[in-house]
């Protein structure tokens, strides 16, 4: 469904290895180096998906920290505005944050299911509830 919507909107995406959880708790800066933590968050995705998913998490953290009850869409709009002012990613990217974040959420869910079904690895099961809740949060934060 998400693929059809993105294709319909003619949003072309280049797939490459990206870290989709670049948030302050995953960056360590020393005197001469920057370290990106959480290598499990490196996946094949588009840069748009990476920005949208990281944006979802950052907006969610901002909303929780500031105890917002309403206005979550405004937080998402402000995030997109800041990204647009600092990066030239294009209008189709800005208009598709919701779909891009959903696309990446579903990729994460599929990877968790694949690990369970094929590898019998349950270490990521504790993240299922969080990923499922991201679906509703993406709508509240980014859907117009």
Domain chopping of the chain, boundaries: 2-13+47-142
pLDDT in tens, 17-43: 877 777 777 888 888 888 888 887 787
Percent of the chain topping pLDDT 70: 87
Average pLDDT, the chain: 81
Is-contact 93 84, C-beta < 8 A? no
Q: What pTM value is reported for the model?
A: 0.76
Find how far residue 65's CA is from the centre of its chain: 19
Q: Measured between alpha carbons, how far is residue 115 from residues 3, 129, 131 in Å?
A: 22, 16, 15
Q: What is the pLDDT of residues 82-111, one digit of tens each?
A: 888 887 776 777 788 899 999 989 988 998
């Amino acid at each position: 469904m998400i693929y059809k919507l993105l294709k319909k909107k003619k949003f072309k995406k280049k797939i490459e290895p990206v870290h989709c959880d670049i948030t302050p708790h995953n960056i360590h800066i020393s005197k001469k180096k920057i370290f990106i933590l959480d290598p499990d968050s490196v996946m094949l995705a588009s840069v748009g998906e990476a920005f949208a998913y990281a944006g979802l998490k950052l907006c969610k953290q901002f909303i929780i920290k500031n105890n917002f009850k309403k206005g979550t869409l405004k937080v998402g709009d402000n995030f997109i505005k800041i990204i647009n002012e600092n990066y030239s990613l294009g209008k189709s990217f800005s208009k598709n944050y919701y779909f891009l974040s959903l696309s990446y959420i579903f990729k994460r869910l599929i990877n968790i299911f694949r690990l369970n079904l094929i590898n019998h690895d349950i270490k990521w099961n504790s993240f299922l509830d969080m990923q499922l809740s991201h679906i509703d949060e993406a709508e509240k934060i980014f859907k117009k």
